[in-house]
Amino acid sequence: MPTSEPADVATLEALLPKGRVLTAQEASLAAYLHDEGEWAVYGTPRAVVRPESTEEVAEVVRWCARTGTPLVPRGAGTGLSGAANAIEGCVIVSFERMNQVLEVNEAERWARVQPGVVNDDLRAHVAQHGLWYPPDPASSPWSTIGGNVATNAGGMCCVKYGVTRDYVLELEVVTGTGEITRLGTRTAKGVAGYNLVGLIVGSEGTLAVVTEVVVRLRPLPPAPITVAGMFDSLVDAGRAVALVAESGISPSTLELVDRHCLKAVDDWKHMGLSTDANAVLIGRTDARGEQGEFEAAELARCFEEAGASFAAVSADEQESEALYAARRLAYPALERLGPVLTEDVCVPKARVPEVLARIEEISAAHSVLIANIAHAGDGNLHPLIITAAGDEAAKTRAHEAFDEIIDAALAAGGTVTGEHGVGTLKLDGLAKELPPASLALHHAVKHAMDPHGILNPGRAIPPLG
Amino acid sequence: MPTSEPADVATLEALLPKGRVLTAQEASLAAYLHDEGEWAVYGTPRAVVRPESTEEVAEVVRWCARTGTPLVPRGAGTGLSGAANAIEGCVIVSFERMNQVLEVNEAERWARVQPGVVNDDLRAHVAQHGLWYPPDPASSPWSTIGGNVATNAGGMCCVKYGVTRDYVLELEVVTGTGEITRLGTRTAKGVAGYNLVGLIVGSEGTLAVVTEVVVRLRPLPPAPITVAGMFDSLVDAGRAVALVAESGISPSTLELVDRHCLKAVDDWKHMGLSTDANAVLIGRTDARGEQGEFEAAELARCFEEAGASFAAVSADEQESEALYAARRLAYPALERLGPVLTEDVCVPKARVPEVLARIEEISAAHSVLIANIAHAGDGNLHPLIITAAGDEAAKTRAHEAFDEIIDAALAAGGTVTGEHGVGTLKLDGLAKELPPASLALHHAVKHAMDPHGILNPGRAIPPLG
């Protein structure tokens, strides 16, 4: 089947209802060129398709297979690694019109949704049923479940509740050969067949095109108690994280925000955030009753033992919501200062202090501003490297810092990406992380699932050495 | 490489240190012919190898690849689907000598173990560090972590704590081409590369040979509160399960045992178990403090609302331990009565009552005794079909009942196997469950990971239609 037909967009348009295809001549196509990983390369797509059904997606996949055209699936474009960036001459499949919650089953606690549903919209929808979809990337007001599935998105509550993969029961997909099939089971347990659902989650659109998702839900959790800690140094905050890990409690959130982030948010939103501390930890517990009180007290104790200048259970709900909002807004706030190169390493929790110290050294050595936010309780660090727009020398230094942070994480027994994915930005890093025999297995699986090599080629796994 | 060399066991022996290989001439080989799925077919192995290192395993895999010999990995042989049964002319790789806990990391909460470690031995080992390895198949006193990984084993506490796959961070494997590699990451989160760890867990030795496992641990949970419920009918007990599912609480155990099982255990162990009730539910909560008391009261309320003849929080620890032990001993107790054909369907929780009713009908229609145990809180039912030894007509009827239970589970939106795996016993059932395009993907992945077709061939996935 591959490349037996010329890649003439008119033949693609003829397969689909009117209005589905944007061609390179249309100005609106510009909105689909790249995701938020703005440092990643991108090309010009041959066309953007906005399908309204699974069958339409399958038509596009089959056309791409026949014409040898790369297909790039796209959610809201909030990714940070370039995985949804246009490949030169590709077809982008945007799921913006497949954005419905199709079914909610209260007794079994799952929802069946289209990939274009926005994460926060799904949360709001299921909350009406007293249910909760936990994975909460900071992009949740914009990012889609399809994109979350593609990257195995994490978020604030993962430290207690796990990541996207833990909540995907079943997928409907279009395979690399254009067939529609369902994978997985909606039952609480199941070992029938290989775990292809878990394989496709996090594969960045390189193994199949996801057209429907059945997600597992939980009962809504109780209102959390927030514990804030202010620290004179990032490293002290890192020590607090290691102490919490040792304590055995399960905070529902343990986030780190540094002074640069707080200042950027406050300059933008005027929330009256204090920027006296060099680092703030935001801990939360949603355990019920006395267990919640115990965990809150333990968080405060760990913060104090690590040398916090201030640590207290927040009595003021507005204040604690402001801190939490500041964490969510840190990334867009920093983007206002210039292009941001986002790191996403994940390291053993006990190594957080030393890796934070190493990041400070790298910042100084390369004369680049590195702000820090972190899903600290998971050891998932997001150093944000900021340069002035147009400063090419700074950009080069930023790339050097980016590579050195990756090396520091690997040296500490960590991984190059905790939740943002590989896209194109982390291909070199992943090549360092994977043993050659593992990389060979990755390519064998990729070829098995995508024999024509059309599904987001060149993303997620580095080339064979 | 494949089949370029005759499968002469002497050449295999020459590759390994002395004492590793048992040949077909040795009487002790008989212990390796089949697992506990005694109704499944098995052949005579060419040899049994008991390697003591990963490098030795790799030698065996490479020899099998060169000679085209099927390789069957084996833990303790407690499987129930025939996945570890000898294939005619195969080499069995028994992990009985690779049974060490290699490392425990308290701060990061993981343990690095060899596949031959017995589940309960791992639990006892990590308990010394205040840590807990949750997955607890009823076979935990005998079954190994390698076998648990191969089948993605579940157990009593899965209803709250998840299954084996949820606890595997990293694997060392020998690939189908005889290369040694590591997969996964020990960090709390990670999306670097495809989820090959999650793919291999549950693949029954058909995609790679696991030689080391890094498992995630949790802090030891508090002592549970047990709530027992006695029911006049299985269906009432099933309704109680559905009510618990609706209630929103998270019991740490919700097990069903019927009168046949209680009687078999009591006849064997003389534990003084009451066999007045037709079905007993054993609920447990390990939530702390007042939340635990609340959940225990909720369990009792659900049992009563469903029509329990007796429902109470157990005041007597010995009594509650006896009930729990009875659940664990049910399978071996029933085996004393004759060959047991074990079902393992999993259905939506709300459909438990109707499927239990259907199982009773099937038992009556085929005149076979069907005892029931169930991980009821997960909708994971284990109807145990018992026939008198040597009664071939009953065996035929048992097989018919087995197939009809599978059909009933699928009709209720369930799956053919919740935790025991496909092995050979569920190949026909799985062929009914998987859509053709999904089966094709399964075979593509199998071929990618095992290009010579030597890794436990014919198990886990049915042949292409």
The b-or-e profile of B412-431 (16+ CB within 10 A means b, else e) is: bbbbbbbbbbbbbbbbebbb
Residues whose CB falls within 8 Å of the CB of residue B125, separated by 6 or more in sequence, listed in order: B101, B104, B111
- The whole-number pLDDT of residue A100 equals 98
Compute the mean pLDDT over every residue in chain B, rounded to the nearest whole number.
Answer: 94
Amino acid letter, B449: M
CB-closest option in B159, B199, B433 to A194: B199
Task: Encode pLDDT of B403-435 as tens digits.
Answer: 999 999 999 999 999 999 999 999 999 999 999
Q: A415 and B192 in contact by Cβ < 8 A?
A: yes
**B30 at interface of A, judged by CB pairs closer than 8 A:** no
Task: Encode pLDDT of A259-281 as tens digits.
Answer: 999 999 889 988 877 778 899 99
**A286 at interface of B, judged by CB pairs closer than 8 A:** no
Alpha helices in A306-381 (DSSP H): 317-335, 352-366
Compute the mean pLDDT over every residue in chain A, rounded to the nearest whole number.
Answer: 94
Q: A426 and B350 in contact by Cβ < 8 A?
A: no
DSSP string, B27-39: GGGGGGS--S-TT
pLDDT above 80 (res A465): no
- The whole-number pLDDT of residue A1 equals 52
CB-closest option in B158, B183, B186 to A189: B158
The b-or-e profile of B185-202 (16+ CB within 10 A means b, else e) is: bbbbbbbbbbbbbbbbbb
End-to-end CA distance of chain A: 28
For residues B394 and B388, the answer to whether their CB atoms sit within 8 Å is yes
The fraction of chain B above a pLDDT of 70, given in percent, is 99
Superfamily of domain A225-411: FAD-linked oxidases, C-terminal domain (3.40.462.10)
A429 contacts in chain B (CB < 8 Å): 192
Q: B192 and A416 in contact by Cβ < 8 A?
A: yes
CB-closest option in B188, B189, B433 to A192: B433
Q: Which two tokens stand for residue B81?
A: 């689907």
Question: What is the DSSP pairing of strand A71-74 with strand A91-94?
Answer: parallel
CB-closest option in B106, B192, B460 to A422: B192
CB-closest option in A154, A198, A291 to B198: A198
Q: What is the ipTM of this complex?
A: 0.96
The residue among B55, B177, B187, B406 with the most chain A CBs within 10 A of its CB, best to mutate, is: B187
Residues whose CB falls within 8 Å of the CB of residue B156, separated by 6 or more in sequence, listed in order: B136, B138, B253, B255, B324, B327, B328, B375
Closest residue on chain B to A288 (Cα): B291
pLDDT above 70 (res A2): no
Phi and psi for B111 in degrees, rounded to 5? -130, 145
- The whole-number pLDDT of residue A323 equals 82
Q: Which two tokens stand for residue B9?
A: 């066991």
> How many degrees, rounded to 5, is the angle at CA B55 between CA B53 and CA B59?
120
User: How crowded is residue B252: how many other Cβ atoms within 10 Å of its Cβ?
Assistant: 23
The residue among A110, A243, A441, A450 with the most chain B CBs within 10 A of its CB, best to mutate, is: A441
Cα dist from B227 to B8, B130, B304, whole Å? 59, 26, 11
- Residue B122, by phi and psi: left (phi above 0), alpha (psi -120 to 50) or beta? alpha
For residues B157 and B252, the answer to whether their CB atoms sit within 8 Å is yes
> Comparing A306-315, B93-102, B139-148, which segment has the lowest mean pLDDT?
A306-315
pLDDT above 70 (res B443): yes
**Closest chain B C-alpha to A422 CA, distance in angstroms:** 7
**B154 at interface of A, judged by CB pairs closer than 8 A:** yes
CB-closest option in B166, B188, B377 to A349: B188
B154 contacts in chain A (CB < 8 Å): 189
Residue A276 pairs with which residues in a beta bridge? Answer: none
**Closest chain B C-alpha to A357 CA, distance in angstroms:** 19
CB-closest option in A192, A194, A419 to B189: A419
Looking at residues B42-55, what average pLDDT do you find? 97
**A367 at interface of B, judged by CB pairs closer than 8 A:** no
Looking at residues B166-181, what average pLDDT do you find? 98
CB-closest option in B106, B291, B446 to A289: B291
**A222 at interface of B, judged by CB pairs closer than 8 A:** no
Q: Which residue has the tokens 């659900």?
A: B302
**A202 at interface of B, judged by CB pairs closer than 8 A:** yes
**B288 at interface of A, judged by CB pairs closer than 8 A:** yes
CB-closest option in B186, B219, B445 to A445: B445
Judged on CB neighbours under 10 Å (0-12, 13-18, 19+), B213 is buried
Looking at residues A419-448, what average pLDDT do you find? 97
User: How crowded is residue B8: how many other Cβ atoms within 10 Å of its Cβ?
Assistant: 12
Q: B433 and A350 in contact by Cβ < 8 A?
A: no
The residue among B180, B194, B432, B439 with the most chain A CBs within 10 A of its CB, best to mutate, is: B194
- The whole-number pLDDT of residue B116 equals 98
Q: Chain A window 309-338: which residues touch B at a Cβ cutoff of 8 Å?
A: none
**Closest chain A C-alpha to B270 CA, distance in angstroms:** 33
Q: B191 and A151 in contact by Cβ < 8 A?
A: yes
- The whole-number pLDDT of residue A316 equals 76
State the count of interchain CB pairs (< 8 A) between A and B. 272
- The whole-number pLDDT of residue A328 equals 86
pLDDT above 70 (res B165): yes
Q: A196 and B445 in contact by Cβ < 8 A?
A: yes
CB-closest option in B106, B191, B460 to A418: B191
Phi and psi for A276 in degrees, rounded to 5? -70, -40
- The whole-number pLDDT of residue A73 equals 98
Task: Encode pLDDT of B331-369 as tens digits.
Answer: 889 988 888 999 999 999 999 999 999 999 999 999 999
Domain ranges of chain A: 9-96, 101-219, 225-411
**B414 at interface of A, judged by CB pairs closer than 8 A:** yes
Q: A193 and B290 in contact by Cβ < 8 A?
A: no
Task: Encode pLDDT of A311-365 as tens digits.
Answer: 989 877 787 888 888 888 888 899 888 889 999 999 999 999 999 999 999 999 9
Cα dist from B299 to B249, B252, B254, whole Å? 8, 11, 9
Residue A188 C-alpha from the chain's centroid: 25
- Residue A222, by phi and psi: left (phi above 0), alpha (psi -120 to 50) or beta? beta
Q: A198 and B196 in contact by Cβ < 8 A?
A: no
Split at pLDDT 50, 70, 90, the class of A3 is low
- The whole-number pLDDT of residue B1 equals 52
Nearest to B287 by CA among B299, B277, B275, B278: B299
Give the CATH architecture of domain B9-96. Answer: 2-Layer Sandwich (3.30)
Nearest to A96 by CA among A196, A6, A3, A28: A28
B195 contacts in chain A (CB < 8 Å): 152, 165, 195, 198-199, 201-203
DSSP string, B157-173: THHHH--GGGGEEEEEE
Q: Say yes or no: domain A101-219 is CATH 3.30.465.10.
A: yes
Task: Encode pLDDT of B109-124 as tens digits.
Answer: 999 999 999 999 999 9
> Comparing A10-14, A172-176, B38-42, B70-74, which segment has the lowest mean pLDDT?
B38-42
pLDDT above 90 (res A41): yes
Q: A348 and B191 in contact by Cβ < 8 A?
A: no
Q: Chain B window 226-245: which residues touch A at a Cβ cutoff of 8 Å?
A: 242, 245
Split at pLDDT 50, 70, 90, the class of A113 is very high
**A438 at interface of B, judged by CB pairs closer than 8 A:** yes
Residues whose CB falls within 8 Å of the CB of residue B200, separated by 6 or more in sequence, listed in order: B149, B171, B173, B183, B207, B208, B210
Nearest to A204 by CA among A37, A374, A433: A37
Residue predicted with more confidence, B246 or B306: B306
- The whole-number pLDDT of residue A163 equals 97
Closest residue on chain B to A244 (Cα): B107
A413 contacts in chain B (CB < 8 Å): 186-187
CB-closest option in B154, B191, B417 to A417: B191
